[in-house]
Amino acid sequence: MKGRSPTFTQVPLDIVGSTKFGRYPKISVEQTYNMIISDNFLVPYAGHVIALNISGSAQGRAIFTSVRYNHMIAVIGNTVYAISNNITSTIVGFIDTSEGDVYIDENNTNQIAICDRSDIWIYDYINNTFTKALTGGGALDFTPGYISYQDGRIVAAALNTATWRLSEVGNAKSFPNDSFHVGTFQTKPDSVVATQRVPGRGNLLYVMGETVTEIWQDTGAQLFPYQRNSSVNIDYGCLNAATIAFNDNVVVWLAANEKSGPMIAYTTGGDIQKISTDGIDFKLSQLTNPTNSYGFLFRQDGHLIYQITFPDDNLTYIYDFNTQKFFTLCDKNMDAHVAKRIAFFNDNYYFVSFTDGNIYQIGTQFTTYNGDEIPRIRVCRNIRLPDASRFSVNNLTFTIEQGTQKNEFLNESLLTESGMAILTEDGLPLLTSVNVTQETLLPLEAETGDILLTEDGEELLIGIEEEVPYAIPQTVDLSVSKNGGESFGTIWSKNLNPQGLFRNRLQYWNLGAANDFVPQFRFWGLSRFVATDGVVSIYQ
């Protein structure tokens, strides 16, 4: 009897997708690393490159753009730097702490306030002075937290109290302790965490506690200039002031109150909006220390993006307000992303790194992490039939940009004859763009032209292969799970077409049988990747 030919069915392959994992893996393991969605294509998230090598070891804590001074202010360890238009740095002062969050803002009288949650330091860039703010003639009589500028004053949270403080108008060095300069929480018994002006809302000020946010308005009253909105408040506070970020008319933060755990929320001056998902909410509820977190907002090619990191849990997520979707970020080692604070300066974005204290420029014109490959990964949605029956995967195919990228060449370390890397004065490997082997040995010369010798008096040799530098191909790896994403099997690799060969279809064949099939793609290379949805051909 002649066998019946299989009937093929095409089901969607969602290359274009976000991080939408479910509460448990059986629900979904869908996730996207270091890529976002643009015009229904999956495109790279911004790479970065070192713009200024300042420290190499101290912790990057804050960076801020002073519009009036036309400099960036960066705090690395306990050192405060002013960074000019040509991205060179000058030390302007030292603070008493070396770790932890730092908040910066400026007023209209040439004063930049820098708060390290211990003191408020004032840098006067006209008179070139760096001093502590005072109460009366002595030290501050409160522990300052998050600071912001509004209507001539620096406004500061008084940590572990129900109060918030105002500086004198035009004088950030003075925080008097009197009824003209001290505000108090009124809605709930709470401690002030932050005071944040609301962008695009005139004189509106958010006073954030741990469980509630009050809305105050600067009315210019003589006794105390702010008046609380007695009919409206936000019934969520802030878990950590370092997660507060604002851009346009949006304020975003990691919110919580006495009846619920952490969630990511935003407001435009009215009601609070929750932007978490079931999977993200579940992940946040499992964090070991959500109070150790920080976030910022920036624009990537028109997309308004909020990036939040939890260092203790080694996690970084972004939320794209344009597409209203979450994505996962990581560094080259699949650890948390290294950016802590970001600033817009000279039409570019710069951030400080919490791992090495350097200043990096970030943008989509950079397709690596300072020369290192970026792990770009897409774990697709589970492919299941309604009756959970078993099926065979004949092939899957999708469209991806090919043939448009210039060849990228791998830099290798110069080696001694014994195989040890030759280092620069900064302790970094000395790099060459040719493939280094021991096939041909050449003597290494000093700047004077003399041949360098080993301890035994012999010539110090390096190995050089006398060939044209080799290009690194762009590669797409596919591995599949046949148990709903619990584990992934064999990797099938395909090199993308070289420059000038523009065929854009990528296909994989004969991927086996399953009843809960999950494809995972890893995009490797030093150039960009642009891909869109495809189809999976299955039969029973």
Residue 200 pLDDT > 80, yes or no?
Answer: no
Counting Cβ atoms within 10 Å, is residue 360 exposed (0-12), middle (13-18) or buried (19+)?
Answer: buried
Which residue do the tokens 């078993």 mark? 390
How much is the average pLDDT of 425-453? Answer: 55
Which backbone phi and psi does 153 adopt, to 5 degrees?
Answer: -120, 150
pLDDT for the residue numbered 234? 87
- Structural domain spans, the chain: 8-45+378-407+471-539, 411-468
Helix or strand holding residue 196 (H, E) = strand 192-197
- Distances in Å between the alpha carbon of 33 and those of 38, 311, 328, 349, 369? 15, 17, 5, 21, 14
Q: What is the pLDDT of residues 223-259, one digit of tens each?
A: 899 999 888 888 899 999 999 999 878 899 999 888 8
Phi-psi region for residue 128, left (φ > 0), alpha (ψ -120 to 50) or beta?
A: left
pLDDT for the residue numbered 438? 42
pLDDT band at 456 (very low <50, low <70, confident <90, very high): confident
Q: What is the pLDDT of residues 257-293, one digit of tens each?
A: 888 889 899 988 777 888 888 888 889 989 999 999 9
Cα(477)–Cα(508) distance, integer angstroms: 10
Q: Which amino acid is at 236?
A: Y
Cα(369)–Cα(342) distance, integer angstroms: 16
pLDDT band at 194 (very low <50, low <70, confident <90, very high): very high
Q: What is the pLDDT of residues 495-538, one digit of tens each?
A: 998 877 888 999 999 999 999 999 999 999 999 999 999 999 99
Which residue do the tokens 């009253």 mark? 221
Task: Say which CATH architecture domain 8-45+378-407+471-539 belongs to.
Answer: Sandwich (2.60)
- Distances in Å between the alpha carbon of 347 and those of 70, 301, 327, 350, 437? 12, 12, 25, 10, 43
Residue 476 pLDDT > 70, yes or no?
Answer: yes
Residue 467 pLDDT > 50, yes or no?
Answer: no
pLDDT band at 466 (very low <50, low <70, confident <90, very high): very low
pTM: 0.86
Q: How many residues does the chain have?
A: 540
